[in-house]
Amino acid sequence: MKLLDLNKTPTIDKVGVHERVNRFCSRSVKTSAKIQGLYLTLSMIDLTTLEGKDTPSKVKHLCYKAQHLHDSIPDLPTVAAVCVYPTLVGIAKKELRGSKINVASVASAFPSGQSTLEVKLADTKFAVEQGADEVDMVISRGKFLSGEYNFVYDEIAAIKEACGNAHLKVILETGELDTLDNIRKASDIAIYAGADFIKTSTGKISPAATMPVTFVMLNAIKDYHKKTGIKIGMKPAGGISNSKIALQYLVMLNETLGSDWMNKDLFRFGASSLVNDVLMQLVKSESGIYQSLDYFSKD
């Protein structure tokens, strides 16, 4: 593994991580800073549908929503991407043509990761051929937990190559990695193997994204940047359902990695339900009145 010595992976101080995260959560974001944070949050969201019952019609509706958030408030930013299964990438690509919204696709036997490399590479290549700008892969957690770290590294590197010009987000599924030490080790493997982003979760198991887990991953990115000068993106996904929590993540991001990471090119939220709460908060700031979430489409 180039530049990576797993024997030197930092041991995580769990108590220290939680203390630090508690300080981020105690920050108060108000008035103009809050509005600015909400606009930024909206621009960082990957609007997602990843269900067995997904249909072309549902994807078209999601793409329409992604492009018409400004119907609630003029001049709102668009979301960063719409994320779908590989078989629906072509539909999303067509619906989003002419917009600045990327099409992301999960791949590599999402969400379990339990398949052969050949199947995972075919899955990835198909998504890219259909027009995916970004690929969200899952690591082989069983291999990782069995100590087969070189296998995990080589698999990520192979899928990165299959992505071509598409950006690769590597999902660790942190809820299955058991410890913060494992999460740091998996983060390092993904980064050094070629990930453009590291991502917490598929959203299919609990716990999904948490602030302590994200803090550990941000520090892996920070250490890699210090060593190489290369900036890696971060995507917490799953369980971030309201604006208050999203703003706490942005505080943590800014204080850990700095202003260079405060943009959609280096930070994303995988939290579709977050869109409606952000819209509700922004409408409240404009009108002084809270609208019910029923006023906003769920998909």
Q: Which residues are catalytic?
A: 136, 199, 235
d(CA 32, CA 13): 35
Single-letter amino acid code for the residue at 284: K
Tokens describing residue 224: 């890699």
Q: How many CB atoms lie within 10 A of CB 286?
A: 12
Residue type, 7: N
Pairing mode, if any, of strands 46-48 and 81-84? parallel
Helix (H) or strand (E) holding 32: helix 31-43
CB 4 within 8 A of CB 188: yes
Q: How far apart are CA 264 and CA 196, in angstroms?
A: 13
Order of strands, edge to edge, in the sheet holding 102-107? 46-48, 81-84, 102-107, 134-138, 167-171, 197-199, 233-235
